[in-house]
Amino acid sequence: MYPGCKKVCRNAKGLKQHTNAIHPVLSSDESDNEAQASNSAKEVHPFLNGVPVDADGVPLPPQARPPPWGELDPSNPWTPFEDRLGFEFAYHHYADAQSSAAKINKGLDFWVAAQIQALKSADVEGAPWDSAEAVYKTIDEIQQGNAPFTTVKIRYSGPLPENPPAWMTQEYELCVRDTHQVLHHQLATADFASDFDPAPYRQYQPNGERIWSNLMSAEWAWRKADEISKTIPGSRGVMVVPFVTGLDKTTVTVATGHQEYHPFYFSPGNISNVARRGHGNGVIPVAFLPIAKVSKDDQKKKEFKRFARQMYHACIQYIFEPLRPGMSEPEIVRCPDGHLRRAIYTIGPVIADYPEQVWLSGIVQGWCAKCMARPEYLDDPDAGRRTHELTDALTEARTPGILWDEYGIHEDIVPFTHSFPRADIHELMAPDLLHQVIKGTFKDHLVEWVMQYLHQEHGEARAVEIITDIDRRISAVPIFPGLRRFQDGRDFAQWTGDDSKALMKVYLAAIAGHVPDEMVQCLSSFLEMCYIFRRNAITISAIEKAQEHLTRFHELREIFVETGTRTHLSLPRQHALSHFIPSIIDFGSPNGLCSSITESRHITAVKEPWRRSNRYNALSQMLLTITRLDKINTLYRLLSLNGHLEGTVSYGMALLFHGIDGKGRATNSDLEGYDAELDDEESAENQELTPAVMLREIGPVPGPRLASSVKLCSTHDRQYPRGLPELAEYIGEPLLETAFLTYLFTSRYPNRDPPPNIADQMRFTAKIFVYHSAIARYFAPSDACGAGGMQRQTIRCNLSWRGKPRYDTVFVAQSDEPGMKGMMVGQVLLLFSFTDPHDLRTHSCALVNWFETVAEEPDPVTGMWVVEREEVDGVRPLQVIDLRAVVRGAHLLPVYGDGYLPGWVSYTNSLDSFKQYFVNPYVDHHAHELLSHR
């Protein structure tokens, strides 16, 4: 019984029906930690609090407005282009479509031809350019966002032997930008205004629980602010600006001999994790490190290894040199909110995989970059932390051989951070979710160990049968928006990070029954820990849970040693897990400092520019492309910020040609068509499902964070009957009429019980409109999302989707209790809307069949909730519910048991082929958040 409701239900089923119809628990994002973070309290650093100042550095009074941006030419904001048409033509072809020179020339020819046709004369001005080269030249003239690459020559400077090898006499090229200039461009990006923190802060939920999210919310930034306030005079009110860097080699092609590049990325630490993962100019390539090409024999020589490492650190030090003065003396910078602030720079966390960490920290392969634990016992709880001071002391007191053998230190390598204030590379090594957790511990270790166990335990022939069945189980997983379907299981050659993430979502159910329960529990504890680490905001209680799962994982993984699958578990990438929780406290959520950011940035910063080159001396062409893209994208952002890109190009040009009124609307009556075109476009953007969006089932939603919602798509399907009895017959669900009338009666008369045989006593003659999909929107910044952290998901209910029926499952809110105790899972059999003639209220509804939990707690082996379909005497009861009670899509994994999967089971029928199902908490971050409450 609900407060204020006089309805008394006779049984649990009646209560459920009444609740769904009259008191739906509306879907909301206020249940997860990230949502609570937005309403939490902040304790800002008392001294380095980023006070806005004027151009002379004098603090402004509170509520003072920022100075005007002024980056655009007031006489012609499109400079160096003539007008909007010229800019949008260049932007479309160069940045959006990435057109070749031949295609740009073709487009220019069309431009001239259109003018000739319009004026019926060849006497026209033509396009503003006569060739693609002229377009490129204009782009080069853009001043906004200009940070060109320069080339620095490097060569070996040590003593030369009588016949020196080629690498000693060869020149190497460091291609680098002015990092000071790049940082100023990034900080002045207005797009980051709502994703920018000018001061370190500590964040707390209303109940007082601490939250770690962005870099500035963590202890490292607070400590650096304390240090700056004590060591730099006049630093009160200054903004501390840490810069996050990332290094990651990439190969652009295999066919031409593994062409490699080594980009160096740069990102201001003041922007949020969501902004950094969203790219734009949040992460910018500032250098390409030289890669010495030598023979395999030379690669093994100690002299070359020393030179390569020293060149590596010398190059990185050179990259940071332009920022050195600002590390000890405040300078005025423009911030995303438009205000000027005095800033002090400091080197921040470094994003790198383990091989890169070895080079960065100057340690020996196999050792840890953050602590002194020995390779044979990396998880030694008593191992102390590495520091520059400790390394210096050991280098002075020990011989090179002892340094190498006993401490894992290269005596001839001085890390680049050694010469910069407040920087210690061992402290700055960020946790790497992608390579240490997802691809490392999960894919390369646990998955491979399970396969090795099966071979060792059952022999080759039987192991192949079991592994084949595991692959079949993976391929038979029910379809879900955004979930990769492994058509042939997990056995394929080329793995990516996305492949590993996709396998994590379905692997646990696939191996359950084929391997010992301890192995399944080990995987379960690991996945729980991993998904906590992947959150965008992590509370102290979540950290405590992660520590519990980490401890349990370390205990349970011994099963691989006990079964003889492994001889030891001392592995650098697994050892890195022990540093994650301290790193979260220091640097915030690991998903804002993950190498997946730099790996995905390779696409736009390396691979696409390489494809646009002619492949000969490609790097110089790539650098020019990167510079041009940065400039034209910066100009685009500024024009958009100032309102110059509203509406379509044709509408904007028409306004320019005919004039506008004081409200920015056309004064010429000839523009009525253009007004209609713009209005139609705006209304299309506000629709729930546009044709372009229909092609994708899941993806980011642009714009700010909004409340979660589930709404029907914009257009109903016209093939369905509009009458209730006819509709029930058409879809083959005779119970629809009773379920619909029960919902209608309960909505009209919430304090009365529906009469028995309601179909004989009540009629509904209005029209019913059927839809094939609904759109769920929710806050999920740890997944692929828009700038506001919003995610969009399509829920489908279709008799024939790609030739087969598809009825998705959803979470339906039942009460305010957390997790599955406050939700049910239902399969959507119909999506529809109708207007009740009784009160003219429009209802958006779903017809569902329920899956009920089989126990009060999750399965003790897998850690997942188990549900089974509701059936009464062999009949599946149906219920009509208010769509507002739907939270989002749910994913079910079959409980396969310990037998082999029959050949007739596939992903299209697996939802109807099993008695019980696991509720999958790993299908995405938001689902794990919903289900993480026990």
**Long-range contacts made by residues 622-630, C-beta under 8 angstroms, separation at least 24?**
622/261, 623/149, 623/175, 623/288, 626/149, 626/285, 627/146, 627/147, 627/148, 627/149, 628/94, 628/136, 628/139, 628/140, 629/94, 629/95, 629/604, 630/145, 630/147, 630/185, 630/281, 630/284
668, pLDDT greater than 50: no
pLDDT at 683 over 50: no
644, part of any domain: no
Q: What is the pLDDT of residue 673?
A: 39
**Ramachandran angles phi, psi of 358, nearest 5°:** -60, -45
Q: Are residues 477 and 339 in the same domain?
A: no
Same domain, 521 and 572: yes
Q: List, for residues 687-728, the tens digit of each pLDDT value.
A: 333 333 334 577 666 555 555 689 999 899 999 999 999 999
571 assigned to some structural domain? yes
Q: If you average pLDDT over each of 26-35, 272-281, 903-912, which comes out highest?
A: 903-912
Confidence at residue 655, expressed as pLDDT on a 0 to 100 scale: 66
The b/e string for 669-679 (b: 16+ C-beta within 10 A; e otherwise) is eebeebeebbe
Mean pLDDT of 431-453: 95
Q: Are residues 295 and 194 in the same domain?
A: yes
Q: Mean pLDDT over residues 498-525, rounded?
A: 94
Decide if 59 contacts 237 (C-beta within 8 A): yes
> What are the structure tokens assigned to 238, written together?
């200054």
Work out how many domains the chain is built from and give that number. 4
Q: How far apart are CA 126 and CA 105, in angstroms?
A: 13
> Which among 594, 15, 64 has a CA at the least distance from the CA of 277?
594
> Is 291 inside any structural domain?
yes
What pLDDT, on a 0 to 100 scale, did the predictor assign at position 12?
56
Residue 556: count of CB within 10 angstroms of its CB: 20
Average pLDDT over residues 825-833: 96
Q: Could you tell me what percent of the chain has a pLDDT over 90?
A: 69
Confidence band for 454, pLDDT divided at 50, 70 and 90: very high
Pair (264, 233) in one structural domain: yes
Specify whether the backbone of 549 is left (phi greater than 0), alpha (psi in -120 to 50) or beta: alpha
pLDDT for res 125: 67
2 in a structural domain: no
Considering the domain architecture, whether residues 422 and 466 belong to the same structural domain is answered as no
Whether residue 254 has pLDDT greater than 70: no
Pick from 592, 615, 645: which residue ends a domain? 592
- CA pair distance 527, 521, nearest whole angstrom: 10
- Give the count of beta carbons closer than 10 Å to the beta carbon of residue 97: 12
Residue 580 has pLDDT above 70, yes or no: yes
pTM of the complete model beyond 0.95? no
- Whether residue 930 has pLDDT greater than 60: yes
Residue with the larger pLDDT of the pair 231 and 642? 231
CA distance 590 to 321: 27
Verify that 288 and 258 share a domain, yes or no: yes
* The two three-digit tokens of residue 931, written as one number: 């289900």
Please list, in sequence order, all residues whose beta carbon lies within 8 angstroms of the beta carbon of residue 567, skipping any fewer than 6 positions away: 561
Q: What is the pLDDT of residues 57-88, one digit of tens each?
A: 999 998 899 988 778 888 899 999 998 999 99
Mean pLDDT on 316-335: 97
Eight-state DSSP code of residue 347: E
Kind of pairing between the strands at 538-539 and 250-253: unpaired
Q: What pLDDT is recorded for position 280?
A: 79
**Does 518 lie in the same domain as 602?**
no
Helix residue spans in 398-539 (DSSP H)? 400-402, 425-428, 448-475, 497-504, 507-511, 517-533
C-beta of residue 842 within 8 angstroms of C-beta of residue 771 = no
Q: What is the pLDDT of residue 801?
A: 83
Q: Alpha-carbon distance 531 to 924, whole Å?
A: 9
pLDDT of residue 310: 95
Total residues found in the chain within this entry: 934
Distance CA 812, CA 29 (A): 14
Nearest to 518 by CA among 899, 859, 861: 861
Q: Judge if 750 and 628 occupy the same domain.
A: no
pLDDT at 13 over 80: no
What value does the mean pLDDT of the chain take? 87
Q: Band the pLDDT of 488: cuts 50, 70, 90.
A: confident
Based on the fold, state whether residues 225 and 251 are members of the same structural domain. yes
pLDDT of residue 622 exceeding 90: yes
Least confident of 256-270, 408-422, 770-784, 841-855: 770-784
Residue 823 shares a structural domain with residue 912: yes
Q: What is the pLDDT of residues 762-806, one digit of tens each?
A: 999 999 999 999 999 887 666 565 555 678 889 999 988 878 889
> From the DSSP assignment, how many helices (H) and strands (E) are in the chain?
33, 28
pLDDT-derived band at 756 (thresholds 50, 70, 90) equals confident
CA distance 478 to 388: 52
Residue 562's H or E segment, with its range, is: helix 559-562
pLDDT at 787 (0 to 100)? 53
910 and 865 within one domain: yes
Residue 328 domain boundaries: 149-362+413-430+593-636
* Same domain as 739, residue 882: yes
Q: What is the pLDDT of residues 874-909, one digit of tens each?
A: 889 999 999 999 999 999 999 999 999 999 999 999
Q: Give the count of beta carbons closer than 10 Å to the beta carbon of residue 635.
A: 25
Q: Structure tokens of 491? A: 């056995």
Is residue 397 a part of any domain in this protein?
no
Tell me the backbone φ, ψ of residue 201, rounded to 5 degrees.
Answer: -150, 160
With respect to residue 666, please indicate whether it lies within any of the assigned structural domains: no
Whether residue 920 is predicted with pLDDT greater than 90 in this model: the reply is yes
